[in-house]
Amino acid sequence: MNVSTPDWVKDAVFYQIFPDRFDRDRGDSAGNPAIVGVTFQEWGGQPTPRKFMGGNLAGVERRLDYLVELGISAIYLNPIFSAAANHRYNTYDYFRVDPLLGGDAAFDKLLTSAHQRGIRVVLDGVFNHCGRGFFQFHHLLENGPDSPYSDWFHVNRWPLNAYSSDEAPDYSAWWNIPALPKFNTDNPGVREFLWSVGTHWLERGIDGWRLDVPDEIDDDSFWQEFRQRCKSVNPDAYIVGELWKPAHRWLKGDQFDGQMNYLFTRAVFGYFIGRKLDQSQTIPMGYGRIRTLDGQSFGKELDHIFNHLYHPEIALAQLNMLGSHDTPRLMTLANGDRATVALAFLCQMTVPGAPNIYYGDEIGMTGRTDPDCRKAFPWHDLGVWDNSLLEELKRLTAMRHRSAALRRGSFQVIQADKQVVAYERYFKGERVVVAFNVARRKPAVFKYTGASGEVLREEPVGATQGESLQAGASVILPPYSGRVWSSTAP
């Protein structure tokens, strides 16, 4: 089978935004209908499952220049369609942007402004389930088995118990949560409806879909048709699935272009955080128990993920995560250790696939599991920003953007022992070498056995020593550090 993925994804650096918590723009003198006559929680207050802080798409738009400076070239937005929850995974109107976010007009303005800056926009597609306010489900609540839409959902018995917290719902729902009724995607009307949502927003100009729990629609033909219809509108549309485990079934080239690469995330935590990782934060959610990795095991894991799991085109289109709205924040899992976070970012920016930064991780925001990981971005409290981390991340994204080898090159582990991992990226004559030492107190030796006569200069990131690298040379890696050399270093 011919496998192709959107070429632009290889060059992208993504930024994930949870709209209610990113920024709240109060509008200009003409007023902003998204905030008139409504009451929000104080910005920066403790996040809860139900309260709204009022972040909106105008707020995202006014921070686009900040994202450009950070090196961002693509945005992944958590759900923006009309819904009665701050997370908006309980959609009731798939063809309308939530009024609290500014409605369709705010979205069109954001999309135009983003594209003018060369930033792509990928939306969250929630097609496994909807909200209780969704018209067809509401029709069931009003009419019971007499509703023409009774077969749009999996109903076990009538009347529906959709609001009692003391009893399980009488219909299939995501994680048995009454607010999230599951579609019956065997119904041809449901299928056509969901496919039409996919094409509608691509026709409106979005650049792709992140698919929420797509494995729960256990039907290859559904996703094959979804891909075909989406690609017929925009062949460059990126289709990426939320798949926490190896995903061969969906990544053969006929369904999705990539997955949210939590396989990579687990490996990074196992190596850079290791035994210091608070497993009480990972076991109850999608990460599960994370295995501590030494350098040799980490090297093998990276080689497996990027060289053996999937077709090379798929490997270059993975969405490489270090955190998301579903996970404890990177800084929290790293026990507040800035050095660990910086090394994780260095690794993320130098392996195959598109890196994705969860909003606020670049300034060291903290947060345990949901809802604590969904705090408001502290735009007006600069004193809590880790500016040194922010500046380091800017250097890392700039390095990635100027290096074709980091964006498109082959991947090879060239040293892996107890503490040290080193790998090489190569593309059309350009070579990049990355080396890590996770020993906390002792320096380590990295011996480069690369191409004879080639001299690589050190990139100004990580534990920069200003030392060149050539075949047969040995260099010292300081304790708990990472260094990068390339044939294109400034």
Q: Is 360 left (phi over 0), alpha (psi -120 to 50) or beta?
A: left
Torsion angle of the four alpha carbons 223, 227, 229, 234, in this order, in degrees rounded to the nearest 10: 160
Strand partners, 302: none
User: Catalytic site residue 212?
Assistant: yes
- Report the Cα–Cα distance between both ends of the chain, in Å, rounded: 41
Q: How far apart are CA 177 and CA 183, in angstroms?
A: 13
Q: How far apart are CA 201 and CA 123, in angstroms?
A: 9
**Of 61, 212, 313, 458, which residue is the catalytic one?**
212
User: Catalytic site residue 142?
Assistant: no
Q: Phi and psi of 434, rounded to 5°?
A: -125, 135
**Of 98, 207, 242, 361, which residue is the catalytic one?**
242
**Which whole-number Å values give the CA distances from 50 to 84, 89, 102, 288, in the listed order?**
9, 13, 19, 26
Is the separation of the CB atoms in 433 and 456 below 8 Å?
yes
For the chain, the three-class secondary structure string (H helix, E strand, C coil) is CCCCCCHHHHCCCEEEECHHHHCCCCCCCCCCCCCCCCCCCCCCCCCCCCCCCCCCHHHHHHCHHHHHHHCCCEEEECCCEEECCCCCCCEEEEEEECHHHCHHHHHHHHHHHHHHCCCEEEEEECCCECCCCCHHHHHHHHHHHHCCCHHHECECCCCCCCCCCCCCCCECEHHHCCCCEEECCCCHHHHHHHHHHHHHHHHCCCCEEEECCHHHCCCHHHHHHHHHHHHHHCCCCEEEECCCCCCHHHCCCCCCCEEECHHHHHHHHHHHHHHHCCCCCCCCCCCCCCCCCCHHHHHHHHHHHHHHCCCHHHHCCCEEECCCCCCCCHHHHCCCCHHHHHHHHHHHCCCCCEEEEECCHHHCCCCCCCCHHHCCCCCCCHHHCCHHHHHHHHHHHHHHHHCHHHHHCEEEEEEECCCEEEEEEEECCEEEEEEEECCCCCCEEEECCCCCCCEEEECCCCCCCCCCEECCCEEEECCCEEEEEECCCC
Active-site residue set: 212, 242
